[in-house]
């Protein structure tokens, strides 16, 4: 795979380099609540500007419906990027239109421009390859005849989209630092991981994570299950789960997994239940098999945190995906905090995957350096661990 280093060795001074970054940050109105992904894009951008490239960033934000929508403008993100790099960053008001052409034409060597949210153009996510290729051609044209493409949005490499795959077919293309680092790290989880290997899974749904559970079960020594998904497993054991998140149609699958891998899978022994989904709910801690009628489990309990922490202490490799509870609401954040602290405290090679898990680490003020790696790509890291081909990576290998 050609990488940024190869491009820098060729020389980029005065050339226009199109970079697909992952700037999909959580927003509260126009306020960025976690700029982790912007920060993660800096090493590639800085290496290019330091070498005198004219850098054009294309990225998406949220899920606009294939048309401009001010709520998903990358404007605030471009402003934040400018603060972080310490020089103004030009923001285009369209994806590949007049504004984009004008902003790119105005770039001096070592400067950065950000194109508007690429998902404002319906061709980005079109199922029709020709439509995606047409948008990619317009992006490639912005880079000009001696342009190049750097794929650095690890969070989107599992997507067959115009700014990820087709554009890489149309310009000389290279993997950015973030993509290379992510792949190098994740390989340590699949190629001869050091044992014992423990995986902590949580988040909302079993159905989202079933493929990764099936792929990991034969490889891991322990699979600790918390979050919303644990209730479908508890239901599969015949326990009442009250109003907790439950996927009826997954109960059989969970029962089968427990039957075949019951020794590997570990479930919560206690849970924090609430009488409503709110920060001011009444709460109780109950045994996992005794969730009362009308109550919902919104976090794992303190005994579970201790039990999971004990299982994690001796691990040599840990992968964590998915919060243990509704950490966004303070009364239900302790399980996620406790388990995350145990991972951070362990000497294991530890990787956090998943957008919400990574956000939890930062929002709960956990020590980021306690983890060996915090992946910027939730879906992409899971698909990698499932052993799937990532189209945005495969195209860089051709
Ligand atoms: P990630 O993005 O890290 O892969 P997910 O998207 O799968 O994680 O899940 C994150 C969401 O799961 C969070 O918004 C959290 O509030 C929710 N969640 C965790 N535990 C529960 C629970 N017990 N009930 C309902 N939702 C939960
Ligand atoms: Mg998520």
- The span from the CA of 286 to the CA of 292, in Å, is 8
**294 catalytic per annotation:** no
Q: In this structure, are residues 360 and 340 in contact, taking their beta carbons and an 8 Å threshold?
A: yes
Judge whether residue 36 has pLDDT over 90: no
The token duo for 227 is: 């979050």
At 183, is the pLDDT very low, low, confident or very high (cuts 50, 70, 90)?
A: very high
**37 catalytic per annotation:** yes
Please report the pLDDT score of residue 216 as a whole number.
94
d(CA 148, ligand 1 centre) in Å: 38
Produce one character per residue of 344-355: b if its CB has 16 or more CB atoms within 10 Å, e if not.
bebebbbbbbbb
Q: Establish whether residue 102 lines the binding site of ligand 1, counting it when its CB lies within 6 angstroms of any ligand atom.
A: no
Coil, strand, or helix at residue 80? helix
- The span from the CA of 324 to the CA of 268, in Å, is 10
Q: Establish whether residue 357 lines the binding site of ligand 1, counting it when its CB lies within 6 angstroms of any ligand atom.
A: yes
Q: Establish whether residue 242 lines the binding site of ligand 1, counting it when its CB lies within 6 angstroms of any ligand atom.
A: no
H-type helices in 41-191, by residue range? Answer: 42-50, 75-85, 98-105, 129-143, 167-170, 177-190
173: phi then psi, degrees, rounded to nearest 5: -125, 150
Residue in the block written with tokens 């493409």:
149
Closest listed ligand to the CA of 228: 1
Judge whether residue 291 has pLDDT over 90: yes
d(CA 386, ligand 2 centre) in Å: 17
Percentage of the residues of the chain whose pLDDT score is greater than 70: 100
Q: Residue 263: left (phi > 0), alpha (psi -120 to 50), or beta?
A: alpha
The mean of the pLDDT values for the chain is: 96
Closest listed ligand to the CA of 363: 1
Please report the pLDDT score of residue 327 as a whole number.
96
At 359, is the pLDDT very low, low, confident or very high (cuts 50, 70, 90)?
A: confident
Q: Establish whether residue 383 lines the binding site of ligand 1, counting it when its CB lies within 6 angstroms of any ligand atom.
A: no
Question: Could you please report the per-residue DSSP string of 181-214?
Answer: HHHHHHHHHHSS--SSEEEEE-SS-HHHHHHHHH
Q: What is the reported pTM?
A: 0.90
At 355, is the pLDDT very low, low, confident or very high (cuts 50, 70, 90)?
A: confident
Which of 15, 20, 36, 37 is labelled catalytic? 37
How much is the average pLDDT of 219-228?
97
Q: Establish whether residue 321 lines the binding site of ligand 1, counting it when its CB lies within 6 angstroms of any ligand atom.
A: yes
The token duo for 320 is: 């964590």
- The span from the CA of 175 to the CA of 162, in Å, is 16
What burial class does residue 144 get, using C-beta atoms within 10 Å of its C-beta: 0-12 exposed, 13-18 middle, 19+ buried?
middle
Residue 17 pairs in a beta bridge with: 55, 148
Around ion ligand 2, residues with a beta carbon closer than 5 Å are: 355-356
At 257, is the pLDDT very low, low, confident or very high (cuts 50, 70, 90)?
A: very high
């Amino acid at each position: 795979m050609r990488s940024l280093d190869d491009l820098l060795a060729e020389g980029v001074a005065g050339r226009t380099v199109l970079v697909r970054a992952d700037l999909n940050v959580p927003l509260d109105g126009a306020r960025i609540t976690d700029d982790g992904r912007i920060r993660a894009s800096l090493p590639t951008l800085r290496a290019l500007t330091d070498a005198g490239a004219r850098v054009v960033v294309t990225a998406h934000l949220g899920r606009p419906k294939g048309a401009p929508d001010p709520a998903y403008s990358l404007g605030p993100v471009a402003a934040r990027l400018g603060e972080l790099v310490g020089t103004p960053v030009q923001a285009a008001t369209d994806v590949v239109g007049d504004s984009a052409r004008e902003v790119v034409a105005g770039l001096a060597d070592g400067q950065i421009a950000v194109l508007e949210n690429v998902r404002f153009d319906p061709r980005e996510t079109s199922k029709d390859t020709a439509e995606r290729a047409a948008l990619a051609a317009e992006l490639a044209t912005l880079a000009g005849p001696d342009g190049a493409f750097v794929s650095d949005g690890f969070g989107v490499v599992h997507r067959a989209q115009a700014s990820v795959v087709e554009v890489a077919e149309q310009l000389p293309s290279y993997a950015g630092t973030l993509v290379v680092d992510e792949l190098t790290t994740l390989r340590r989880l699949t190629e001869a991981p050091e044992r014992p290997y423990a995986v902590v899974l949580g988040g909302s749904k079993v159905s989202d994570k079933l493929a990764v559970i099936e792929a990991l079960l034969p490889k891991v020594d322990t699979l600790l299950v918390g979050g919303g998904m644990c209730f479908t497993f508890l239901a599969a054991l015949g326990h009442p789960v009250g109003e907790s998140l439950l996927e009826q149609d997954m109960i059989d699958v969970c029962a089968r997994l427990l039957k075949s891998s019951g020794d590997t899978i570990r479930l919560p022994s206690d849970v924090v239940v609430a009488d409503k989904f709110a920060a001011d709910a009444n709460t109780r801690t109950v045994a996992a098999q005794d969730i009362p009628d009308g109550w919902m489990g919104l976090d794992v309990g303190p005994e579970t945190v201790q039990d999971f922490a004990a299982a994690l202490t001796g691990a040599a490799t840990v992968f964590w995906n998915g919060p243990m509870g509704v950490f966004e609401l303070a009364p239900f954040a302790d399980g996620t905090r406790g388990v995350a602290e145990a991972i951070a405290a362990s000497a294991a090679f530890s990787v956090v995957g998943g957008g919400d898990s990574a956000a939890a680490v930062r929002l709960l003020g956990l020590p980021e350096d306690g983890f060996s790696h915090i992946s910027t790509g939730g879906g992409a890291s899971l698909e990698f661990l499932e052993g799937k081909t990532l189209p945005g990576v495969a195209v860089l290998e051709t």
